[in-house]
């Protein structure tokens, strides 16, 4: 989430100042944040599925 917010701020700063590099850097940082979130979600799904299929004692 932090990467997404920071990236959006950089993107907006780039748009306001006309700095395409800053804008692109912000978009890239947002993409990193999205990938991190997706990986976290997949890990949680795998963990839940493993717990669901674990035999009870």
- For residue 54, the SS3 value is coil
pLDDT at 27: 97
Q: Is residue 32 in a domain?
A: yes
Q: At what angle do helices 20-52 and 2-17 cross, to 10 degrees?
A: 160
pLDDT at 7: 96
Q: Is residue 57 in a domain?
A: no
Rounded Cα–Cα distance for residues 41 and 36 (Å): 9
Say how many domains are in the chain.
1
Whether the model clears a pTM of 0.85, i.e. scores above it, the answer is no
Residue 56 has φ and ψ, to the nearest 5°, of -80, 150
Q: Is residue 10 in a domain?
A: yes
pLDDT at 55: 77
**Which domain covers residue 14, as residue numbers?**
2-52
What are the CA-CA distances from residue 8 to residues 2, 12, 15, 48, 52 (Å)? 10, 6, 11, 32, 37
Give residue-wise pLDDT tens across range 1-57: 899 999 999 999 999 999 999 999 999 999 999 999 999 999 999 999 998 888 776
């Amino acid at each position: 989430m932090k990467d997404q917010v920071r990236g959006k701020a950089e993107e907006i700063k780039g748009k306001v100042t006309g700095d395409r590099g800053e804008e692109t850097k912000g978009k890239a940082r947002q993409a990193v944040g999205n990938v991190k979130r997706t990986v976290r979600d997949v890990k949680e799904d795998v963990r839940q599925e493993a717990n669901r299929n674990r035999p009870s004692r």
